[in-house]
Amino acid sequence: MKPTLIDAIAHDDADAIAHLKEQFEIPTGKIYLDGNSLGPVSISAKKAALNVVEQQWGNDIISSWNKHSWIDLPINTGEKIAKLIGAAPGQVICCDSISINLFKILHCALQLNPNRRIILSQDDNFPTDLYVAEGLQQILGVQQCELVSAADTDIENQLTNQVAVLLLTHVNFRNGKTHDIEKITQAAHAQGIIVVWDLAHSVGVLPLSLDEWNVDFAVGCGYKYLNGGPGAPAFIYAADRHQNSFQQPLQGWMGHMAPFDFSKDYCASQGMMQFLSGTPPVISMSVLNASLDVFDHVSIAEIRHKAIALMSFFQELKKASPELNELQLISPEKSNERGSQLAYSHPDAYEICQNLIDNNVIADFRMPDVLRLGFSPLFLSFQDIHTAITELSSIMTSESYCAAQFAAKKKVT
């Protein structure tokens, strides 16, 4: 029997974290299934943006570097993120973007394995991760750095004593398939390999225990499940045991041991401060810092529990809707093998996605034929899921997505 709206309401009534939706400003009438690309604005983030512009920058001006601790934002924000990824203090800093941070980290990781040169990654890793590794290869030359990629099912077979660094993304951005971080890290370490994890689609929705799993390095962004706003700063995790064994390549004044001495010669800071380069983006980092406060009121275990329930409810509704059979699930069937998303293939996935958006159900499209739906438990309800399926069913039944307007390609998909 197909679940009804009454069933959705019952699920919402039993939801222990349903009240957290009140902390977000979701546009009236919209169902937002794209928090895995850009999280919505929270009330605390909006207030922080206004405060940092009107009061801190507007009134206190440059004194805010000390008065409002702008100078400490990278560390303070990093420590909030550390709690979400299972990291003890002193191992996470907020700065730059994933791409820039990956460049730093890969360079550092190669220094820890000076007699090896191969960076091993996955064929369908998120493109920026591969691009950065390719760029590093071009700078250093293949005698010092060579990117090699393999199918996800063959990664463990490629872990040999010839590999210097393993670079993987925990959750595949297209299909949501997850890697077992602990298992793969242990297997890589057995071959003397340094491991770098990209947590862009993990942090904020999946339980992570980087210290316990003996992870070497990790990066992640602030604008997806952390809801830090478009272009929000990213973060770096570097295990304490490695922090005095390398020198990051993007030397800038904020990474100097004494930046306001304005010394001619570079002397790197100790610990995570060494990863800083230029002046931190105070406005965007203040917004991210404030957005993280919502996690003070919920555990990652609760978030994960609800995410699985939301996806299961969606799948249950879909399977009871024959008109949706054309949408083929490419995400793993088992919830413990995927992140907080469901992805479906269809020849007209782009058009279907655009039609959904036109009907106020916000999803996204990924090449070549993937309709991707993100399940962010902090602000989604079971009634939202029921509405989304209703709209999707209507679109597929009527074939309204075939209208020419939905085929027009946009710059951002």
Q: Which residues are catalytic?
A: 126, 198, 223-224, 372
Please enumerate in sequence order all residues whose Cβ is within 8 A of that of 261, keeping only pairs 6 or more positions apart, or say none. Answer: none
User: Are the C-beta atoms of residues 332 and 176 closer than 8 Å to each other?
Assistant: yes
Q: Cα dist. 130→127, 176, 202, 265, 349 in Å?
A: 5, 18, 19, 33, 26
Assign residue 276 a region: left if phi > 0, alpha if psi is -120 to 50, beta otherwise?
beta
Q: Compute how many other C-beta atoms are within 10 angstroms of the C-beta atom of residue 396.
A: 21
Of 317, 307, 294, residue with least CA distance to 380: 307
Of 76, 378, 71, 48, residue with least CA distance to 235: 76
Q: Residue type at 86?
A: G
Alpha-carbon gap, residue 39 to 372, rounded angstroms: 15
- Per DSSP, the three-state class of 279 is coil
Q: Cα dist. 359→125, 318, 344, 362, 389 in Å?
A: 32, 18, 19, 8, 12
Of 130, 178, 116, 159, residue with least CA distance to 340: 178
User: Are the C-beta atoms of residues 225 and 203 closer than 8 Å to each other?
Assistant: yes
User: Are the C-beta atoms of residues 324 and 314 closer than 8 Å to each other?
Assistant: no
- Per DSSP, the three-state class of 207 is coil
Q: Cα dist. 164→144, 186, 282, 325, 352 in Å?
A: 10, 15, 36, 45, 43
Question: Following DSSP, what letter does each residue of 381-404 receive, concatenated?
Answer: -HHHHHHHHHHHHHHHHHTGGGSG
Please enumerate in sequence order all residues whose Cβ is within 8 A of that of 34, keeping only pairs 6 or more positions apart, or say none. Answer: 362, 363, 364, 374
